Structure 1
């Protein structure tokens, strides 16, 4: 799990314990690889590997939450999304779970790096109907 996601999960566990809440963990697979030339690599193999990695991340996160005796649900999202639309997929999953708060890690990028790499966290803050807690690395 990436350091910023790990910190966000720790904060979600802290809040979940304090509020007696269930935690829903969402992992969205970035499907930008679908726009690449299939002659360079096998998209089905890459998709399978990304799904397996996502499932492993979710399993480890769920075990960590459940070790704290907090109810936990996980969701793996693999639908093709337009570039920059991962935040929309996260928001939809949160609504399906009945979430009341989004806790998301952020890299804290600035300047040209933020422009080039985008920010799922920033997009969520801008359009989510739910409160968003950003946990910065």
Structure 2
């Protein structure tokens, strides 16, 4: 069904959970999987962080290499083919969601699998959502995988709403 799958990774538990799902789909479809790590150095954040950590860009690049190597190792164990990619947000012109979109288009992704924290209310409004923004921009199917915390919260809400017998 899908032959080219893109999976953004960022080292979070939520993205790891989504990557697990991407591997399952890739294995079941004999698809190529491309883990994607996006380096984001927004000017304001970079200037503030540079005061405390002058090598932040290099640290993010190293983190991307480490996560890419872990993804390749995991894919090899699961017999899934693919090569990781690292991409940087341009300081003038785009954000993480737009960078993921450009990478998905360049890869020819037929599916993008990404994690979402499942935030609601004011937390979603204040913190925003790369996944939500990407979903609005995407030209291909997007599978949003809730983080384990979001799944557990949903199960608790569901069980709390069930009438007791």
Asked whether the two chains share a fold, i.e. TM above 0.5, the reply is: yes
The answer to whether residue 20 in structure 2 is matched with residue 20 in structure 1 is: no
Greater relative contact order structure (CA < 8 Å, 6+ sep): 1
Secondary structure of 1:40's aligned partner: helix
Q: Match for residue 123 of structure 1?
A: 133
1:93 corresponds to 2:95: no
Name 2:51's counterpart in structure 1: 40
Cα-to-partner distance string for 1:56-112 (whole Å, 9 max, x where unaligned): 011101110121111111111123346972111001111111110000001111112
Contact 1:87–1:124 (CA under 8 A) maintained in structure 2: yes
- 2:89 touches 2:96 (CA, 8 Å); kept in 1? no
Q: CA RMSD in A?
A: 1.9
1:135 match: 145
Q: Pick one of 99, 102, 114 that aligns with 2:112.
A: 102
Q: Does structure 1 conserve the Cα–Cα contact (< 8 Å) formed by 2:89 and 2:95?
A: no
Unaligned runs of 5+ in 2: 1-10, 148-165
Give the conservation status (yes or no) of the 8 Å contact 1:62–1:74: yes
Contact 1:84 / 1:120 at 8 angstroms: preserved in 2?
no
Cα contact 1:84–1:118 (8 A) shared by 2: no
* Match status 1:3 vs 2:13: yes
Calculate the TM-score normalised by the size of structure 1. Answer: 0.89
Deviation for aligned residue 1:48: 0.5
Q: Larger Rg: 1 or 2?
A: 2
Contact persistence 2:88–2:99 (CA under 8 A): no
Distance 1:14 1:39 in 2: 39
